[in-house]
Amino acid sequence: MTRSVKTMDHTQISSEMATELSEKKRIGILGGTFNPPHIAHLVMADQVCQQLGLDKICFMPTYLPPHADEKKTIAAHHRVRMVEEAIKENQMFDIEKIEIERGGKSYTFDTMKQLTQLHPDTEYYFIIGGDMVNDLPNWYRIDELTNLTQFVGIRRPGFPVESRYPLLWVDVPQIDVSSTSLRNKISRGCTVQYLVPDAVMQYINREGLYKNEN
Ligand SMILES: Nc1ncnc2c1ncn2[C@@H]1O[C@H](COP(=O)(O)OP(=O)(O)OP(=O)(O)O)[C@@H](O)[C@H]1O
Ligand SMILES: O=C(O)c1ccc[n+]([C@@H]2O[C@H](COP(=O)([O-])O)[C@@H](O)[C@H]2O)c1
């Protein structure tokens, strides 16, 4: 059965592509450091899931972010626990721990190669914020990666919506929250209530995370 997939005002998947896709499981992957996970992650995952009619969204924490030199992160087990807390109330959300289990630098090409080999019945949609799109040319084996997964771009305030790579752009209410801003707030003793799910805030408080940064 041909499925009509309307993604946003001006992007539409062709009916041939939709037919082919509808025969496979369709899973969105939201890769991230999740240091910590916040409401913008949840909103973008939910919107992409609903707008593209995906079967589920897997939140995929990195073990070591590929640009680790530039990005200090707390231990992976804390980030995994926070993601689990953040997604626990949504049945369409799941966690993919393949990068945590593999260890080392979490290059997306390695991950998607592994996932597509393990699950040939699945079509993957790799979700990225608009802030990452400009950086795609620097990703490890990016040309091959675009053959393994369909990238989905999310508009983010202040970032362009163009790329030389094939992206599906999805309109999501823009939420100007980042993990960096939350870490800064917590280290200054400011509240992050409503910016992260309650369960994540409780975990951060219980474990005393981000208090001594900067
Ligand atoms: N407010 C946002 N709007 C749109 N996309 C976002 C937003 N916050 C994060 N993303 C996207 O979510 C994915 C995972 O992000 P990540 O875990 O690095 O969070 P972050 O808030 O960007 O973190 P940091 O501030 O530490 O860089 C990335 O593709 C990122 O671009
Ligand atoms: O593979 C790469 O070269 C690459 C470079 C930058 C980012 N990524 C992936 O993009 C996702 C978001 O990264 P980050 O650093 O914003 O958390 C995460 O899954 C990273 O592994 C991947």
Please check whether residue 190 lies inside any domain of the structure: no
Among 139, 144, 179, 181, name the best residue to mutate to test ligand 2's pocket (greatest count of ligand atoms within 8 A of Cβ).
139
Q: Could you tell me if 132 and 108 are in contact, meaning their C-beta atoms sit under 8 angstroms apart?
A: no
- Per the structure, the count of domains in the chain is 1
> Is ipTM strictly over 0.95?
yes
Please check whether residue 108 lies inside any domain of the structure: yes
Q: Could you tell me if 29 and 124 are in contact, meaning their C-beta atoms sit under 8 angstroms apart?
A: yes
Please check whether residue 191 lies inside any domain of the structure: no
Nearest ligand 1 atom to the CA of 180 is: 25
**Domain coverage including residue 45:** 24-175
| Smallest CA separation from ligand 2 atom 12, residue | 32
Q: Write down the residue that tokens 């721990």 correspond to.
A: 97
Q: Write down the residue that tokens 């219980």 correspond to.
A: 206
Token output for 122: 């699945």
Please check whether residue 153 lies inside any domain of the structure: yes
Residue 108: which CATH number? 3.40.50.620
Please check whether residue 192 lies inside any domain of the structure: no
Please check whether residue 34 lies inside any domain of the structure: yes
**Amino acid (1-letter code) at residue 70:** E
**Distance (Å) from CA 46 to ligand 1 centroid:** 15
Among 179, 182, 200, 214, name the best residue to mutate to test ligand 1's pocket (greatest count of ligand atoms within 8 A of Cβ).
179
pLDDT tens track of the chain, all 214 residues? Answer: 333 344 444 445 554 555 555 589 999 999 999 999 999 999 999 999 999 999 999 999 999 999 755 557 899 999 999 999 999 999 999 999 999 999 999 999 999 999 999 999 999 999 999 989 999 999 999 999 999 999 999 987 788 888 889 999 999 998 989 999 999 999 999 999 999 999 999 999 999 999 977 5
- Enter the pTM of the model: 0.90
| Smallest CA separation from ligand 1 atom 8, residue | 178
Please check whether residue 40 lies inside any domain of the structure: yes
**Distance (Å) from CA 181 to ligand 2 centroid:** 19
Tell which residue, 91, 64, 95, 65, has the closest CA to residue 81. Answer: 95
Please check whether residue 185 lies inside any domain of the structure: no
**Amino acid (1-letter code) at residue 42:** L
